[in-house]
Amino acid sequence: MPPDRFAGTKTRLIAVASGKGGVGKSTVATNLAIALAVGGAEVGLVDADVWGFSIPKMLGLDAPPEADEKGIVPPMAYGVKVISMDFFVGADQAVVWRGPMLHKAVEQFLFEVAWGEPDYLVVDLPPGTGDVSISLSQFAPTTSQIIVTTPQPTAQRVARRAGLMARKVNQQVLGVVENMAWFTCEHGDRHLLFGEGGGRLLADQLEVPLLAQIPLVPALREGADQGVPAMVAAPDSDAAAAFTALAAQVEKSKPRVRSHPKLVIS
């Protein structure tokens, strides 16, 4: 295993995890990264969802990264440096990898990209508790996690497993984000399209805060398709306000600084 190049630096890793796909995890990771950057932080965004990469599209990035003597130079969008498997495979290719290749991809994204010394690296994990999540816990044992769920009980029960895995590998769970919490119609009425209570229940089960409830607004879907996230396309929307508040909660929580696992006092 390579040495932890972030040991002793100011960089903090925030992994955005979920138990299942389709809950808006990548949307949360992308808009959180932008919100942190808007707040003045230097931010990198690692699209570690190796099979289901989507972040470059969501940020309007299509040019591959360049390389120099310091390593891979990550492209930047909206003040956020980005790396993703999307830059390295063709549009008609699928990533069909098992554990060792996935482990190597995580290693390269963390250690062979010229990140500099950002305040935050936000890591968009694949759904579930598989190889990529395990590799991240080995390379960056003091990563903090945010667990994303929708309000419905089915999603909440599965998301709980991601939180339990984080605890199992001694990673700090900062809290829960409930995405698609409600939809506000043109008459101002809130509609609970995906039920209610899942985020609060999950937070209570994991004994962590409910960091944010993200409403379902058209700008989230439109921004993802057009490469202009809601934080940029609709900065005055309820969703952007929720992401701004989430970033403030992350700053306030003071996630653990990465360090070499042998130097962690337990």
What pTM was computed for the model? 0.89
Q: Give me the sheet containing 43-47, strands edge to edge.
A: 76-77, 80-84, 43-47, 120-124, 12-17, 144-149, 172-179, 210-214
Give me the chain's average pLDDT, please: 87
Report how far residue 151's alpha carbon sits from residue 105's, in angstroms, rounded to the nearest whole number.
Answer: 32
pLDDT at site 92: 66
Q: How many CB atoms lie within 10 A of CB 244?
A: 20
pLDDT at site 265: 41
pLDDT digits (tens, 9 = 90+) for 187-224: 888 888 888 889 999 999 999 999 999 998 888 888 88
Angle between helices 25-38 and 238-253 (to 10 degrees): 70
The kind and range of the H/E element at 249 are helix 238-253
CATH architecture of the domain covering 12-253:
3-Layer(aba) Sandwich (3.40)
pLDDT digits (tens, 9 = 90+) for 7-19: 677 899 999 999 8
pLDDT digits (tens, 9 = 90+) for 122-174: 999 998 877 888 889 888 888 999 999 999 988 888 899 999 998 888 889 99
Q: How many CB atoms lie within 10 A of CB 265?
A: 4
Residue whose C-alpha is closest to residue 166's, from 134, 210, 207, 126: 134
In the structure, what pLDDT confidence band is assigned to residue 254 with cuts at 50, 70 and 90?
A: confident
SS3 state of residue 33: helix
DSSP state of 112: S
Displacement of CA 181 from its chain's centroid (Å):
18
pLDDT at site 7: 65
